[in-house]
Amino acid sequence: MRTRRSFLKNLIGAGTVAVASLREDGLDRILAAGRATADYSPDRLASNEDFWFEIQQAFTLDRTLINLNNGGVSPSPRTVQEAMKRYLDLSNEAPVHTMWRLLEPQIESVRRRLATSFGCDPEEMAITRNASEALETCILGLDLKPGDEVLTTNQDYPRMLTAWRQREKRDRIVLKMISFPTPPRDLEELAERFEKAITPKTRVILVCHITNLTGQIFPVRRICQMGRERGIEVIVDGAHAYAHFPFKKVDLDCDYYGTSLHKWLLAPHGTGFLYVRKSKIAGLWPLMAAPDSMQTDIRKFEEIGTHPAANHNAIAEALAFHEGIGVERKAARLRYLKDRWARRLEGQKGIHIFTSFDPAQSCGLGLVVIEGVDSAKLADYLWDKYRIIVVAIVHEEFQGIRVTPNVYTTLNEIDTFCDSMEKVIRNGLT
């Protein structure tokens, strides 16, 4: 591996643009690093610490903490924060003019950028505040009658399950949840479990693209086509998938897809999107009422009243940062970091990894347990003793701590986490 000095020397040799970029903390620095490693495969670049050092400098972080809970919400890079601040400053000059008339129309540019990234028509892309808003638009907006069955797993996000339970009480539908091994044998096993659970009364399937608990990736395309063949609506919960690993809408063949952008895209907190196939827009009720003239307009799902334009406009900067790295490179790095801690801990006494090492089934999110150690107490211990942030997962079928590094995470931080876990394996929570 080249030293950081040789890496920077090569950048200087690349020309004055690269030299200038090293004096900045914005996107130019990332693009310069990308140009210097353009001939690297994603897998080769995943372990190139010189390249990822450049990425790490784009963030404003407290390095006295080790944040391994990026699955909840991630920090935005400096370039995104600065864009959002600029928009907020402009908004507050005269909001009825600067926010509504100058900034709000720029959402159309963001819509086009997101649609291109996801691979859909801009007229199928609604910008929301998070995955919950996007997905509940579908959950509460589909017409269902008493006795209709909804099929999902018992590992979908609790807020989504709560929304379905509300419909059970209000509309007397039936919620059916299937279980699956963690990890399963393969993707085919997951598809088979859905297929076996379908009945003549099944009207909707909700499937995670990747679960928030163990990081299990699902065969979404197979399940979407399974539903379409039977006249079943399929909603895809992509809260943790978009900008985490590479895919396009065509790879999923879905009709509805909801995600958050403040997780893996590193966009401003409180941003997300909802994709609805154009032919499905008219039949889906918005969460908040829209005029009849908007019945077939994707923007009816954005009729939420007054909201800040700064958040959704700064998504454009997050997309530029994400594309500057490259989603294939990003996914390879996230898998590399996940495998570094999981492979080291795997096989040690009392350790169980709930996440598959199969690249088709997982990426950067993993779940681990030390048998006999309460996971909530372990999470508290890691924070109190080492200032490591993880989240305890307590499910009816398993428990553990979820570990989610991100592109700014250093190998030293991963190794410190492993050292602390090994001390608990040897000595307990002492």
Percent of residues, the chain, with pLDDT higher than 70: 93
pLDDT tens-place string over residues 207-258:
999 999 999 999 999 999 999 999 999 999 999 999 999 999 999 999 999 9
Q: How far is CA 357 from the centre of its chain?
A: 19
Residue 260 belongs to a domain: yes
Determine how β-strand 256-260 pairs with β-strand 233-237.
parallel
175 and 264 belong to one structural domain: yes
Average pLDDT score over residue span 159-170: 97
Is residue 135 included in any domain, yes or no?
Answer: yes
Percent of the residues in the chain that have a pLDDT greater than 90, as a whole number = 90
Q: Got the DSSP string for 176-214?
A: EEE---SS-S-HHHHHHHHHHH--TTEEEEEEESB-TTT
Is the pLDDT confidence value at 25 over 70?
no
Residues shown for the chain: 430
Per DSSP, helices labelled H in 184-314 are 187-197, 220-229, 249-252, 309-313
SS (H, E, C) 392-426: EEECCCCEEEEEECCCCCCHHHHHHHHHHHHHHHH
- Within this chain, do residues 168 and 27 fall inside the same structural domain, yes or no? no
* Intra-chain end-to-end CA distance of the chain, in Å: 39
Number of structural domains (the chain) is 2
In a domain, 170, yes or no: yes
Longest distance between any two alpha carbons in the chain, whole Å: 69
Contact 70, 243 (CB under 8 A): no
Give me the mean pLDDT over the 279-288 stretch: 98
| Residue pair 108/309 in contact by the 8 Å Cβ criterion | no
Residue range 46-57, pLDDT digits in tens: 999 999 999 999
Q: Is the pLDDT of residue 1 over 70?
A: no
Kindly state whether residue 290 falls inside one of the protein's structural domains.
yes
425 in a domain, yes or no? no
* pLDDT grade for 18, boundaries at 50, 70 and 90: very low
Residues 86 and 191 in one domain: yes
Query: Is 107 found in the same domain as 4?
Result: no
Does 42 lie in the same domain as 116? no
39 and 178 in a common domain? no
Same domain for 97 and 210: yes
125 pLDDT band (50/70/90 cuts)? very high
> Quick one: CA torsion of 38, 109, 90, 262, rounded to 10 degrees?
-60
Do 32 and 130 have their domain in common?
no
Q: Based on the domain organization, do 225 and 278 belong to the same domain?
A: yes
Residue 13 confidence (pLDDT) = 37
Is residue 7 situated within a structural domain? yes
- Domain containing 308: what range? 82-320
The phi, psi pair for 380, rounded to 5°, reads -65, -40
Quick one: average pLDDT of 391-404?
A: 97
- Are 183 and 302 found together in one domain? yes
User: Final residue of a domain: which of 302, 320, 338?
Assistant: 320
pLDDT at 27: 67
Q: What is the CATH number of the domain that holds 121?
A: 3.40.640.10
Q: pLDDT band at residue 26, thresholds of 50, 70 and 90?
A: low
Average pLDDT over residues 74-100: 96
Whether residues 99 and 47 share a domain: the answer is no
Mean pLDDT of the chain: 93
pTM: 0.92
16 pLDDT above the threshold of 80:
no
Interval 127-155: pLDDT, tens:
999 999 999 999 999 999 999 999 999 99
- In a domain? residue 391: no
Do 164 and 270 fall within a single domain? yes
Residue 15 has pLDDT above 80, yes or no: no
From CA 313, how far away is CA 87, in angstroms rounded? 8
Is residue 77, in this structure, part of any structural domain at all?
no
